[in-house]
Amino acid sequence: MTEMVYGTAPARAGDPVLPRWWRTVDKWTMSAILLLFGIGLLLGLAASPPLAARNGLSSFHYVERQVFFGGLAIITMLLTSMMSPALVRRLAVLGFIAAFFSLVLLPFFGTDFGKGAVRWYSFGFASVQPSEFLKPAFVVLAAWLMAASQEVGGPPGKAISFALVCAIVGLLALQPDFGQAALTMFAWGVMYFVAGAPLVLLVGIAGGIVGFGFTAYNASEHFARRIDGFLNPEIDPRTQLGYATNAIQEGGFFGVGVGEGQVKWSLPDAHTDFIIAVAAEEYGLVLVMAIIALYGVVVLRSLFRLMRERDPFTRLAGTGLACMFGVQAMINMGVAVRLLPAKGMTLPFVSYGGSSLIAGGIAVGMLLAFTRNRPQGEIADVFQRRGH
């Protein structure tokens, strides 16, 4: 408890792996993730039985699967957090290659599960969404390329990372999955900015993104339908957004009571994309604010610890992962309250979903690995030495 209040102790040479990991890992971030997963199970108990009944399954079928995949995600997170940044980087490069080629082959071997977007590989007993695993691997690879470009005689890492993100965005747009495409581009843009990109270039890229949005609106019926629904001042009460908006309004400050919510009977995605509507209806604004605070703990704690990091690669990769994690949560909740158009994006560690849970475990495990205290000094030490 003392370390959680006053900070973690730096690693000492010769320490066994587990004691060294426990002293150096950010316990506040790890605790926030475990609490988010616990809240997800609580909401899953409320949201998933109606869907299970409609599909002729046992009442807690989806909860049992969430426990299983969530357990794998937590184990993956803990194991990944024990790795060194160099090992995380090597595994991320291999993971990126596998996920990228899986994304390339998706139009030929993937399925849409009747949702109009080919995003998954179906194996009968389970399905896999490659883009979920591609995101954290790409962030680490892009951070490595950007950091390498800052070295004397280094490769043109920023240009290579830009080419890669354009290729990824193009593949995701073909599915179509504009939400994941925007999230990947955002994570790259944050790292590019931290790496010292000129503001004029970032403005130009933003203009290009706006132009791409207009093109996508005119070329994709799927994209146009979602934008039109978002811009329409009248909400059809029979749509998912209509049900979610009504549920949030009904919940008020303290909610209608555990098990008394009605939105879970109307929303087919109540356990995934609109899980926050279930939280708002049954538990009210109190639980929603608690969820937002937990995401804030993860993002802000990570960014503050990364500010002291002197290794450019670690600082860039950690920043990209932390911002991507926080923005994904913001997008999910923003869609539910109609601040953003529908994106089909899960709420990290709270929504049901095997791919999103395990990929989230990998991403947060990487983030925990990058934010561990190490006996290398901090960025402030470099400026102090330069001043003498």
Which residue(s) pair with 127 in the sheet?
122
User: In whole angstroms, what is the distance from residue 361 CA to residue 353 CA?
Assistant: 12
In this predicted model, which residue has the larger pLDDT, 1 or 293?
Answer: 293
Under 8 Å between Cβ of 143 and 88: no
Q: What is the pLDDT at residue 211?
A: 77
DSSP states of 75-118 as a string?
HHHHHHHTS-HHHHHHHHHHHHHHHHHHHHHHHHH-B-TTSSS-
pTM surpassing 0.85?
Answer: yes
- Mean pLDDT over residues 332-358, rounded? 84
User: In whole angstroms, what is the distance from residue 91 CA to residue 70 CA?
Assistant: 21
Which tokens sit at 326? 């926080």
- Mean pLDDT over residues 29-58, rounded? 88
Which tokens sit at 365? 């495990």
Count Cα neighbours of 104 within 13 Å in the Cβ-side half-sphere. Answer: 8
Q: What is the pLDDT at residue 37?
A: 95
- Mean pLDDT over residues 133-147, rounded? 95
Q: What is the pLDDT at residue 6?
A: 41
User: In whole angstroms, what is the distance from residue 32 CA to residue 35 CA?
Assistant: 5
Which amino acid is residue 159, in one-letter code? A
Q: Across the chain, what does the average pLDDT equal?
A: 83
User: In whole angstroms, what is the distance from residue 57 CA to residue 53 CA?
Assistant: 6
In this predicted model, which residue has the larger pLDDT, 283 or 114?
Answer: 283
Which candidate, 195, 100, 83, places its Cα nearest to that of 145? 195
Q: What is the pLDDT at residue 70?
A: 93
Which residue(s) pair with 35 in the sheet?
none
Q: What is the pLDDT at residue 5?
A: 45
pLDDT at 26 over 70: yes
DSSP symbol at 265: G
Reported as a single tens digit per residue, the pLDDT across 98-117 is 999 999 998 888 887 766 67
Phi, psi angle pair for 121, to nearest 5°? -100, 130
Q: What is the pLDDT at residue 98?
A: 95
- Looking at beta carbons, which pairs linking 231-239 to residues 24 or more positions away fall under 8 Å? 235/338
Which amino acid is residue 357, in one-letter code? L
In this predicted model, which residue has the larger pLDDT, 7 or 290?
Answer: 290
Percent with pLDDT over 70 in the chain:
85
Which tokens sit at 195? 């790496």
Radius of gyration of the chain (CA): 21
Query: Within a 10 A sphere around the Cβ of 232, how many other Cβ atoms?
Result: 10
Confidence band, pLDDT 50/70/90 cuts, at residue 220: low
Under 8 Å between Cβ of 136 and 92: yes
Which tokens sit at 152? 């004397």
Q: What is the pLDDT at residue 75?
A: 96
Residues in the chain: 388
Q: What is the pLDDT at residue 179?
A: 84
User: In whole angstroms, what is the distance from residue 246 CA to residue 262 CA?
Assistant: 10
pLDDT at 381 over 70: no
User: In whole angstroms, what is the distance from residue 199 CA to residue 362 CA?
Assistant: 32
Q: Is residue 121 classed as helix, strand or coil in its secondary structure?
A: strand
In this predicted model, which residue has the larger pLDDT, 179 or 208?
Answer: 179
Range from 43-47, 103-107, 194-198 that averages highest in pLDDT: 103-107
